[in-house]
Amino acid sequence: MTVPIAGPDPNPEKVDARAPLGACDCHAHLFGPADRFPYAERRGYTPPDAPLSAFLRHLDALGLDRGVVVQGNAHGYDNRVILDAVERVPGRLRGVCITDESVAPEELRIWHRLGVRGLRFHFFHPDHRPGYRRGVGLDVFRHFEPTMRDLGWHVQVWCDHRILPEMAPTLAEIGRTIPVVLDHLGEARAADGVEHPSFQALLRLVGDGQCWAKVSGAYRASRLFPDYPDTEPLHAALVRANPDRLVWGSDWPHPQVDAAAMPNDGRLLNLLLRWTPDPAIRRKILVENPARLYGFPLPPG
- Using CA atoms, how far apart are residues 15 and 25, in angstroms rounded to an integer? 14
Q: Calculate what percentage of the chain has a pLDDT beyond 90.
A: 91
Domain that residue 33 falls in = 3-11+18-294
> Which of these, 251, 206, 301, 280, lies nearest to 68 by C-alpha position?
251
* pLDDT on residue 1: 44
Measured in degrees and rounded to the nearest 5, phi and psi for residue 112 equal -60, -45
Instruction: Give a yes or no: residue 25 inside a domain.
Output: yes
Task: Categorize the per-residue pLDDT at 57 as very low, low, confident or very high, splitting at 50, 70 and 90.
Answer: very high
* pLDDT on residue 132: 46
- Using CA atoms, how far apart are residues 142 and 199, in angstroms rounded to an integer? 26
* pLDDT on residue 128: 65
Give mean pLDDT, residues 95-105.
95
Give mean pLDDT, residues 169-185.
97
* pLDDT on residue 3: 75
Task: Categorize the per-residue pLDDT at 5 as very low, low, confident or very high, splitting at 50, 70 and 90.
Answer: confident
CA–chain centroid gap for 238, Å, is: 16
CATH number where 284 lies: 3.20.20.140
Instruction: Give a yes or no: residue 301 inside a domain.
Output: no
* pLDDT on residue 258: 93
What pLDDT digit, counting tens, does each position of 137-151 carry? 999 999 999 999 999
Q: Is residue 54 scored above 60 in pLDDT?
A: yes
- Using CA atoms, how far apart are residues 134 and 149, in angstroms rounded to an integer? 24
- Known catalytic residues are 251
Task: Categorize the per-residue pLDDT at 35 as very low, low, confident or very high, splitting at 50, 70 and 90.
Answer: very high
Q: Is residue 29 scored above 70 in pLDDT?
A: yes
Q: Is residue 92 scored above 90 in pLDDT?
A: yes
Instruction: Give a yes or no: residue 95 inside a domain.
Output: yes
State the total domains in the chain: 1
Task: Categorize the per-residue pLDDT at 133 as very low, low, confident or very high, splitting at 50, 70 and 90.
Answer: low
CB proximity list for 164: less than 8 A, separation 6 or greater: 182, 186, 187, 198, 201, 202
Instruction: Give a yes or no: residue 99 inside a domain.
Output: yes
When mean pLDDT is compared across 42-46, 177-181, 222-226, the lowest value belongs to: 42-46
Instruction: Give a yes or no: residue 299 inside a domain.
Output: no
* pLDDT on residue 70: 98
Instruction: Give a yes or no: residue 187 inside a domain.
Output: yes
Write down the mean pLDDT value for the chain. 95
pTM of the model: 0.96
